[in-house]
Amino acid sequence: MSKKVFIKTFGCQMNEYDSNRILNSIKKIGFEKTENLEESSCFILNTCHIRDKAKEKVYHEIGRVKKKFEKKVKPVVIVTGCVAQAENKEMLKREPFIDLVVGPQSYHKINNSIIEFMKNKSRNEITEFDTVSKFDYLSKIKNDESKSSAFLTIQEGCDKFCHFCVVPYTRGPEYSRPFFQILTEAEELVKKGAKEIILLGQNVNAYSYFENSLEFRISNLIMELEKISEIKRIRYTTSHPRDMTDDLIDCYSNSQKLMPFVHLPIQSGSNKILKLMNRKHKVEDYLKIYEKIKKINANIEFSSDFIIGYPGESNQDFIETCNLIDKIKFINSYSFIFSARPGTKASNLQPVEKNISLERLKIIQERLFNYQKEKNKRFENRLVDVLVENEIEGQNKLFGRNEYMNSVIFEGNKNLIGKIVPVKILNSNQNSLFGETNFKNKFKAA
């Protein structure tokens, strides 16, 4: 009988990608994925440390699992991801239920540590930054993800050290995977049905790989993926304004498959705050990129990330962020109150009063969501091309995304999954579009 593994994932798309690669790896030692925690003999919690009470959330989750196994043989319990990296030995000390702690650049060692643990119950923590060996190892194991929209990590880690951010400490230094290793993995994903490839990296547009003194950048990757006929859509995330070079911007002219949607985090619309954050770009740089891209295609839309209440943020700084939002009118956005991360420079700074931050967040979200609603409304009564990803459980409806990453929900036959289909949008809200595929007769009549 095969052993079962249950994996729970918090955090960003890269964690989702990693969870799948961990599964691919531990299949080699006889584990099969289960959706039923209680039948698992291995439980993996892939964690995120980006904000809030990340650490406490992990212990809470482990506590919940512990309860479920009170009267049963416990599974091997493994904590992976960014909290694992940040907390390392502490986790083993604080929670005896945890057996292994494995950081994001040590996933190539996960099989051996499970085998070792099963043999001699040696609890262990593996958190060195061994990114080259990790990708060498993983590249020898097929990526068997069978989604129509598939993630593909091309770059990992960060050397930028924004003062608020924990990522350089949890993912390690910037590393770009070999160009041809990435293309091979893209081919694997295509064989499994991928129609869309989402290139991932903490600073995905910092991708830079040298071979025989030739530099390969993300623009080269995009144009290479463009040649694979089965791939219909290409995206990348998360990009950094500093690495938004002209060769990448030119892809919006040269590629037919690069989606007209740019997720480009700004964090704040105030140059004073950007400087305090150590972002090393200015609002003007951001606007220049925006204008260059819009000049290529006015239909390209932007989304962004905002941090509200960063230490030192005055009312004037906040107004400047609001002004930037009014200029760009983002189609989508993520906004959070600054969260002091242990070990980062900003964690020692005087925080903005909680009430003020909450009030500013409310104002900014209202503004952002209004633009989102406005933009989404424009799709109503129009046909949009949707890449159908899955059926929504228990609802008899399908879920997919349009070119701008909007969620589109509609009734339709399951055999549409994996296809790009025209959907007529009937309704919308701030997050989603609602439509139908059965519109042809109605259109003729109209």
* Among residues 7, 19, 31, 81, the one that binds ligand F3S under rule CB under 6 A: 81
Strand, coil or helix: 61: helix
364-387 b/e (C-beta count within 10 Å ≥ 16 → b): bbebbeebbeebbeebeeeebebb
Number of residues engaging ligand SAM in binding (CB under 6 A): 18
Number of residues that bind ligand SF4 (CB under 6 A): 10
Minimum Å distance from CB 200 to ligand SF4? 12
- Closest approach, Cβ 383 to ligand F3S, in A, equals 35
Residue type, 122: S
3-state secondary structure 308-360: ECCCCCCHHHHHHHHHHHHHHCCCEEEEEECCCCCCCHHHHCCCCCHHHHHHH
Closest contact distance (angstroms) between CB of 162 and ligand SAM is: 6
Asked if 267 touches ligand SAM (CB under 6 A), the answer is yes
Give the nearest distance from C-beta 256 to ligand F3S in angstroms: 31
Give the residue, chosen from 5, 22, 44, 50, that forms a contact with ligand F3S under the rule CB under 6 A. 50
Residue 49 within binding range of ligand SAM, rule CB under 6 A: no
Alpha-carbon gap, residue 207 to 201, rounded angstroms: 8
- Quick one: which segment of 21-29, 89-97, 110-118, 331-339 binds ligand SAM (CB under 6 A)? 331-339
Residue 341 lies near ligand SAM (rule: CB under 6 A): yes
By a kind-dependent CB cut-off of 5 to 8 A, residue 161 interacts, out of ligand F3S, ligand SF4, ligand SAM, none, with ligand SF4
Of the candidate spans 30-38, 84-92, 99-107, 163-171, the one that interacts with ligand SAM by CB under 6 A turns out to be: 163-171
Residues in Cβ contact with 361 at an 8 Å cutoff, skipping those fewer than 6 apart: 308, 309, 335, 336, 337
Q: Which stretch binds ligand F3S (CB under 6 A): 122-130, 163-171, 346-354, 423-431?
A: 163-171
Cβ distance to ligand F3S smaller for residue 203 or 402: 203
Report the residue from 202, 270, 332, 402 that binds ligand SAM according to the rule CB under 6 A: 202
Per DSSP, the chain holds a count of helices (H) and strands (E) of 15, 21
Binder of residue 170, out of ligand SAM, ligand F3S, ligand SF4, none (CB less than 5 to 8 A by kind):
ligand F3S
CA nearest to 24, candidates 124, 148, 107: 107
Cis before residue 238, ω within 30 degrees of 0? yes
**Nearest in space to 267 (alpha carbons), one of 325, 307, 314, 215:** 307
- Among the listed residues 77, 102, 150, 165, the single contact to ligand SAM using CB under 6 A: 165
Q: Name the amino acid, one letter, at 80.
A: T
341/367 with CB nearer ligand SAM:
341
Q: Are strands 3-9 and 332-337 parallel, antiparallel or unpaired?
A: unpaired
Closest distance between ligand SAM and the C-beta of residue 158, in Å? 6
Show the site string, 143-182: x = touches ligand SF4 by CB under 6 A, - = not.
---------------x-xxx--x-xx--------------
Instruction: Among 5, 12, 62, 82, indicate the residue that binds ligand SAM (CB under 6 A).
Output: 12
Per CB under 6 A, 268 contacts ligand SAM: no
Binding status of residue 338 toward ligand SAM by CB under 6 A: yes
Q: Which of residues 232-291 bind ligand SF4 (CB under 6 A)?
A: 240
Residue 171 Cβ vs ligand F3S, minimum distance, rounded to whole Å: 5
Of 77 and 165, which has the nearer Cβ to ligand SF4?
A: 165
Q: For residues 199-238, which are near ligand SF4 according to CB under 6 A? A: 202-203
CA distances from 311 to 78, 200, 272, 285, 349 (A): 35, 30, 11, 23, 6
Instruction: Give me 32's structure tokens.
Output: 């099969």
Q: Are 103 and 126 in contact (CB under 8 A)?
A: yes
Q: Which of 240, 247, 233 is nearest to 264 (CA)?
A: 240
Work out whether 82 is an interface residue with ligand F3S (CB under 6 A): yes
User: Is residue 375 a contact point for ligand SAM (CB under 6 A)?
Assistant: no
Cβ contact 387:423 at 8 Å = no
Q: Say how far apart CA 395 and CA 385 lie, in whole Å.
A: 22
Side-chain-side CA neighbours of 147 within 13 Å: the count stands at: 17
Are residues 223 and 367 in contact, defined by beta-carbon separation less than 8 angstroms?
Answer: no
110-120 and 13-26 helices, crossing angle to 10° = 60
Quote the least distance from Cβ 11 to ligand F3S, whole Å: 3
Which pair of tokens denotes residue 431? 């997050």
Binding site for ligand SF4 (CB under 6 A): 158, 160-162, 165, 167-168, 202-203, 240
Binding site for ligand SAM (CB under 6 A): 12, 50-51, 164-165, 167, 202-203, 238, 240, 265, 267, 305, 307, 336, 338-339, 341
Binding site for ligand F3S (CB under 6 A): 11-12, 14-15, 48-50, 81-82, 166-167, 170-171, 202
